[in-house]
Amino acid sequence: MSGLRLAASDMIDAVAGRRRGEILLLLASVAVFLVFAEVVVRLLGLAQPRPTGYAPVNTNHRALREKNTRGYRDLERPLAKPAGARRLLSLGDSFAWGAGVEFEDAYPQRLARAITRRRRETWEVVNLALPGMRTIDHAVQLADEGFAYQPDVVLLGYVLNDSEDDAAAETRRAADWLEGRASSPSLLDRSALLRLVRGRIWATREGRRRISGYRSMYDENAAGWIAGRAALKRMGRLCREHGVPWIVAIFPLFGNPLDESYPFAEIHQKVSYAASAAGARVVDLLAVYRGLRWDLLVVNGVDDEHPNEIAHRIAAGALLRELDAVVPWTRTGADRPDIEDDMAASPAPTGPARQ
């Protein structure tokens, strides 16, 4: 009997030994794989954010700000309109300001040059855009300051965060601050593989949070959107009272694919309907950018998703033609060019966007 027990014990030890060997082999294989993956990720630089966009420019340099005495990124503009000149009043936020691009490349300045050549008459674009402004701010600005410049047409550059209310903005800033505190560097950050995996997980979660946040922002009962619709109506009423036509240009959020998977098309439709009901001629620029590569239209997709020089050029070209529908020509139709060469966009950045 004791012999049987010894044999059984030896068999159990042998099985356990084989299992330990298999486990050690498995762990060694996993370790080798992780080391190999770490080396590959480091060699290929996969953990480093890939810069996107075209020629990012630091507009904080004094020479690139072009701030006038009123604090706008524009030339000095007297309130009285020069004799023989016509004016377009540009309202907006950091998109119209031209964050990340040279002063001359921002769409208001491009539009001023192009419409002057196209119509062979003097046009000024008075740019009152300021980063961070919202629709409610634009309505107040138009009433208090805008019409003093005697504009012939008003252009509002609308970005989807323009209807964010104060409470939502404060909550978002607090969440970003807490996330920044929680993501303090650790020893594990030395692993490129771990940074890559963690970055992909974060991007997925952030994308979902962003989509959910914007959709809730445009809920019919959202305070910011209610105030935004009221502001659009006020702007429309002011323009009618002054006999000035106005255009609302809706920009897409460029940090997203601009194909059929673009997640905010429904919000564009809501804004378009509200602006049209307020009396504006609406230009949904999503249709203009549709199918183009988003990563070639941003300043730097890693840190800055503002439109770059190419995106501003495309926007100006689209808006130039829309002006024909709201501002009568002072010259004969025979003088009108069929196209504006200066506004022809660079070769379209088509093809699948990098993920």
pLDDT for the residue numbered 300: 79
pLDDT for the residue numbered 65: 56
Confidence grade of residue 100 (pLDDT, cut at 50, 70, 90): confident
Confidence grade of residue 203 (pLDDT, cut at 50, 70, 90): low
For residue 302, the number of C-alpha atoms closer than 13 Å in the C-beta half-sphere is 9
Measured CA to CA, the distance from residue 191 to residue 61 in angstroms comes to 36
Measured CA to CA, the distance from residue 265 to residue 261 in angstroms comes to 9
Confidence grade of residue 5 (pLDDT, cut at 50, 70, 90): low
Average pLDDT of 194-221? 71
pLDDT for the residue numbered 352: 44
What DSSP state is assigned to residue 67? B
Average pLDDT of 152-163? 96
pLDDT of residue 231 exceeding 60? yes
Q: Which of 121-135, 181-195, 244-258 has the lowest mean pLDDT?
A: 181-195
**Is beta strand 281-284 parallel, antiparallel or unpaired with respect to 246-250?**
parallel
Measured CA to CA, the distance from residue 75 to residue 272 in angstroms comes to 31
Question: 56 near 121, Cβ under 8 Å?
Answer: no
* Whole-structure pTM value: 0.76
Confidence grade of residue 35 (pLDDT, cut at 50, 70, 90): low
Confidence grade of residue 180 (pLDDT, cut at 50, 70, 90): very low
- The residue that leads in pLDDT, 324 or 336, is 324
pLDDT for the residue numbered 213: 83
Which among 40-44, 71-75, 184-188 has the top mean pLDDT? 71-75
Question: 307 near 299, Cβ under 8 Å?
Answer: yes
Name the one residue in this structure whose structure tokens are 């771990």.
Answer: 194
Enter the tokens of residue 45.
């630089």
pLDDT of residue 108 exceeding 80? yes
Q: Which of 57-66, 155-164, 274-283, 294-303 has the lowest mean pLDDT?
A: 57-66
Average pLDDT of 179-186? 51
- For residue 281, what is the enclosing H or E element? strand 281-284
Return the SS3 of 110. Answer: helix
For residue 242, the number of C-alpha atoms closer than 13 Å in the C-beta half-sphere is 20
pLDDT of residue 146 exceeding 50? yes
Question: 257 near 350, Cβ under 8 Å?
Answer: no
Q: What angle do CA 128, 132, 137 make, to 5 degrees?
A: 60
Q: What angle do CA 278, 244, 92 make, to 5 degrees?
A: 65
